[in-house]
Structure 1
Amino acid sequence: MQRNRFLGDILSQLFDRRGAPSAKYDKRDIYTLCQALLSAEGEVSGLRLASTIIARYAALSGDDKTAFFYYLNSKLEIDATLVATLAAQYAKDPSPDNFQSLCQAAEPKRQELLRRLNQPVGATATLVAMRVDLLARLRDHPDLKRLNYDFVHLLRSWFNRGFLVLQQISWDTPARILDKIVAYEAVHEIDDWDDLRRRLYPPDRRCFAFFHPAMPDEPLIFVEVALTADIPGSIDALLSEGRTPLEAHQAKAAVFYSISNCQKGLTGISFGNLLIKQVVAELSLACPQIETYVTLSPIPGLNKWLATQTDDPEHGLAAQAVLAGKAPATDVKMMAARYLLTAKRGDGLPRDPVTRFHLGNGAEVHDIHAGADSSDNGMAQSCGAMVNYLYDLTQTERNHENFAMAKTVASARSVQSLSTAPLPTKPKEPHA
């Protein structure tokens, strides 16, 4: 991983733009400053104006931020009539000049404003945080989605794969970043520094994160990996304090047991697929004896789905028993298999978000485990059930294509059998 650290240092220096001169004496309001930034004045004094606008935005009240978003959304909008006229001209005469005129008219001025705001040191992180403010308003102000589309468009280009740097997170990583790993862990809470050390220090544990050179101290997404002798079926055992660590060269499986997105402002910009692929490549070089790449994943939507099945003639009895914590392990696995393989959204894709993510990456539903996660969160979302998604590198491309084109859920035969096995039709007799 040394080469990635070296590359990150180079890119960090490349993107270390110097701050702008102070503009605290500029008394114009934020809207006038935005117009100035978009004008010829912005070509000359763009860094100063951008810094001033960012400072003014930070000082706005909640209502004033909403008004500012409406200004961007409405006042810096495209001229639809002009776009239609230019589109008709281009249809008749697809010359380069007509094409250029159409493209310029079809791009909202707010996109150029956001680009020009992204000049001072730290501006990228500020704009990511600005989108967090915007996302918080979309439910009550749905017409601001036009502005959100522009944020997504720009952030996808600014955070494309060419700018991302993969770094291994270890016990020697600076504490300021380790603190953020603890804070951002979204799947299996890290209790304290001892817990963090157990996930980073042993020879059979790895953690990798993507960083962006404009935000060098902010992980974008990270994955925790366990190197194991076989495919695990319990997160409780995998994270146990009393487990015996395995030497890395003895591992036969790499288990992705937690993937956490860190930046809410980058919602909708996907890094997970890239992260998994690059981590597999890194581990293949470091531990060539590893034969299996698999996840140990939560099933976050299982209990919500079970709650909709309690009156179903076929599923009702088993759903009630699972939710009540009275179902045997086999029934839990059968209901989880039915959920993962057959519960769909209106668009035909799997209902479970983790399933959509891994199947979209080319994985298959490999195995299901009952009693795998006894944490409060694990019991609340899936009554403790978990699932392995297998990344068979010889099949991922075909699985991805089948899922993307035909919404096919790739799964092992054992899981298919669980999903079609007959469910109990009457309560089981209690053990004596």
Structure 2
Amino acid sequence: MTLVSLMTSSDLSNTQLAPLDRAKQLAATLLSERSEASGALVARQLHEVLGALDAAGRHGFQRYLATEFQPDRAALRGAAERYLADGTAEAAAALARAADPPRQELLRRINMALGGTGALIAMRSEIASCLRGEPVLKLLDADLKHLFASWFNRGFLELRRIDWQTPAAVLEKLIAYEAVHEIKGWDDLRRRLAPDRRCFAFFHPALPGEPLIFVEVALVQGLATAMPPLLSRETDEDTARAQAARADTAIFYSISNCQDGLRGISFGNLLIKQVVEELKAEFPQLTRFSTLSPIPGFRRWLGQRLAKGGDPDAALLPQLESDGWWNDPTQSEKLRAPLLRLCARYLTRQPSIRIDPVARFHLGNGARLERINWLGDSSPRGIQESFGIMVNYLYDRESIEDNHKAFVRGTIVRSPDVDALLQA
């Protein structure tokens, strides 16, 4: 491992170095520290220096982390040879220690500084756009993901209900982070937090005011098949309370990840299952828990399929390219049956194929493909992604595990309604 010369504690106040060089020396010093108190001091100073770097400086520091803090090759080779020679558990543990890059320990120590966790999340978010062009950064990305998987496990997550009494700073973040159905200001947000709506989010002690992921829920009667009624802002609070009391179905209509630096760390499965339990406790009359979900990959898949030529459905292309066909009842009715059939085929392809990401998430979590809804979302985004079609994925508490196992084996569990579309 090649490191720049280490600094003593008295050198840490040295401001003669260029900011990037000072950050590098502080990092090397931090890794060498044996005292927890001294390490915390160095971590805090490093955090301050990194916060003052410009984009080029941060990128230089990220490359430094990725390239300089590798496992000791001689020690790793020796540990591997010992393991191959005797194969004992002790030799395996020694090999694992030798393979653990010093970079991971350095990242753990950087995390000792106040705000260190948020800074590391921001670092991973920033390097995401560089991974393809600079493969060496994948080492740093992998180490950060590995550490986050431990730091953000279920034992550290706190589920909170978000309502109109939640601090405004958190509510502002919901407006900013909503990734599925845009929240158009405070009035729109207030409707989504009405008595017949629920919003829950996961938080972490290291990021107390930052939601990690949140879900929006509508309490309704029967399966919701379209977004406009769910996003309506006309209902007064008394009517909304009465609707919540009559509801037999909870519709999960938006799930938004808030921290790009935590991509690949799974929260959604835990969130849905825990929210189901919370809702069931508050509203014992609820009998169904379902999503109303987008199909972000459908239009792209269908366009590629029909563009190949020779497909009997290729005649649909000119009609689908005509502007505003979804607002013309005559045109849209002609397209309804073939598009629903094709969407059913798209959603029931083998899981080993690159299937729709939202479908993979819900089906992999044990939901059932319940219903495909015509023009459930005719917003510009809905038309662009899936010709306005939306899906209900049903979470049946009694069959979630069986459905998940079937998905792993390559079977898409679906309702008779979806089967009927496939045979149309």
- Residue 367 (structure 1) aligns with: 371
Please state if 1:117 is matched with 2:110: yes
- Residue 207 (structure 1) aligns with: 199
> Offset at 1:264?
0.5
- Selected match of 2:280 from 280, 284, 288: 284
- Residue 383 (structure 1) aligns with: 387
Could you tell me whether the CA contact under 8 Å between 1:90 and 1:98 is conserved in 2? Answer: yes
Please state if 1:75 is matched with 2:68: yes
Could you tell me whether the CA contact under 8 Å between 1:349 and 1:356 is conserved in 2? Answer: no
- Deviations 1:202-248 (CA, angstroms, capped at 9, x unpaired): x2100000000110100000000000011011001221233563432
Q: Secondary structure at the match of 2:96?
A: helix
Q: Secondary structure at the match of 1:308?
A: helix
> Offset at 1:90?
2.6
Please state if 1:258 is matched with 2:254: yes
> Offset at 1:295?
0.3
- Selected match of 1:220 from 188, 212, 218: 212
Q: Secondary structure at the match of 1:365?
A: strand
Could you tell me whether the CA contact under 8 Å between 1:23 and 1:49 is conserved in 2? Answer: no
Q: Secondary structure at the match of 1:411?
A: coil
Q: Secondary structure at the match of 2:13?
A: coil
User: Compared with structure 1, are the counterparts of its residues 294 and 22 closer, same or farther at alpha carbon in structure 2 (3 Å cutoff)?
Assistant: farther
Please state if 1:55 is matched with 2:48: yes
Could you tell me whether the CA contact under 8 Å between 1:23 and 1:48 is conserved in 2? Answer: no
Task: Report 1:285-324 matches (<5 A).
Answer: 285-310=281-306, 311-324=309-322
> Offset at 1:101?
3.3
Could you tell me whether the CA contact under 8 Å between 2:297 and 2:356 is conserved in 1? Answer: yes
- Selected match of 1:25 from 7, 10, 13: 13
User: Compared with structure 1, are the counterparts of its residues 323 and 143 closer, same or farther at alpha carbon in structure 2 (3 Å cutoff)?
Assistant: farther
Cα RMSD (Å) of the superposition? 2.1
- Residue 58 (structure 2) aligns with: 65
Aligned-partner residue type, residue 401 of structure 2: E
- Selected match of 2:162 from 158, 169, 190: 169
- Deviations 1:321-362 (CA, angstroms, capped at 9, x unpaired): 3454344222332222122113x6xx7245210000000100
The percentage of aligned residue pairs carrying the same residue is 45
Please state if 1:142 is matched with 2:135: yes
Which moves more between the two structures, 114-123 or 151-160? 114-123
- Residue 6 (structure 2) aligns with: none
- Residue 269 (structure 2) aligns with: 273
TM norm structure 1: 0.87
- Residue 353 (structure 1) aligns with: 357
Q: Secondary structure at the match of 1:196?
A: helix
- Residue 8 (structure 1) aligns with: none
Aligned-partner residue type, residue 215 of structure 2: V
Task: Report 1:192-203 matches (<5 A).
Answer: 192-201=185-194, 203=195
> Offset at 1:380?
1.3
Task: Write the distance in 1 (CA, Å) between the matches of 2:319 and 2:206.
Answer: 51
> Offset at 1:81?
4.4
Task: Write the distance in 2 (CA, Å) between the matches of 1:61 and 1:121.
Answer: 20
Q: Secondary structure at the match of 1:297?
A: coil
Structure 2 gaps of 5+ residues are: 1-8, 326-330
- Residue 414 (structure 2) aligns with: 411
- Residue 335 (structure 1) aligns with: 342
Task: Write the distance in 2 (CA, Å) between the matches of 1:105 and 1:166.
Answer: 38
Task: Write the distance in 2 (CA, Å) between the matches of 1:340 and 1:144.
Answer: 35
Q: Secondary structure at the match of 2:198?
A: strand
User: Compared with structure 1, are the counterparts of its residues 263 and 337 closer, same or farther at alpha carbon in structure 2 (3 Å cutoff)?
Assistant: same
Aligned-partner residue type, residue 407 of structure 1: G
Which moves more between the two structures, 280-289 or 28-37? 28-37
Structure 1 gaps of 5+ residues are: 1-20, 422-432
- Selected match of 1:182 from 154, 157, 175: 175
Task: Write the distance in 1 (CA, Å) between the matches of 2:399 and 2:159.
Answer: 25
Task: Write the distance in 2 (CA, Å) between the matches of 1:351 and 1:312.
Answer: 23
Could you tell me whether the CA contact under 8 Å between 1:66 and 1:137 is conserved in 2? Answer: no
Could you tell me whether the CA contact under 8 Å between 1:167 and 1:209 is conserved in 2? Answer: yes
Task: Write the distance in 1 (CA, Å) between the matches of 2:34 and 2:90.
Answer: 26
> Offset at 1:78?
1.5
Could you tell me whether the CA contact under 8 Å between 2:191 and 2:232 is conserved in 1? Answer: no
Could you tell me whether the CA contact under 8 Å between 2:47 and 2:113 is conserved in 1? Answer: no
> Offset at 1:139?
2.2
Which moves more between the two structures, 209-218 or 100-109? 100-109
> Offset at 1:94?
5.1
- Deviations 1:305-324 (CA, angstroms, capped at 9, x unpaired): 12112235133223553454
TM norm structure 2: 0.88
Aligned-partner residue type, residue 256 of structure 1: F
Could you tell me whether the CA contact under 8 Å between 1:318 and 1:327 is conserved in 2? Answer: no
- Residue 400 (structure 2) aligns with: 396
> Offset at 1:95?
5.8
Task: Write the distance in 2 (CA, Å) between the matches of 1:200 and 1:31.
Answer: 47
> Offset at 1:186?
0.4
Could you tell me whether the CA contact under 8 Å between 2:293 and 2:393 is conserved in 1? Answer: yes
Q: Secondary structure at the match of 1:294?
A: strand
> Offset at 1:44?
4.5
Could you tell me whether the CA contact under 8 Å between 1:322 and 1:331 is conserved in 2? Answer: no
Deviation >6 Å, runs of 4+: 21-24
Could you tell me whether the CA contact under 8 Å between 2:12 and 2:26 is conserved in 1? Answer: no
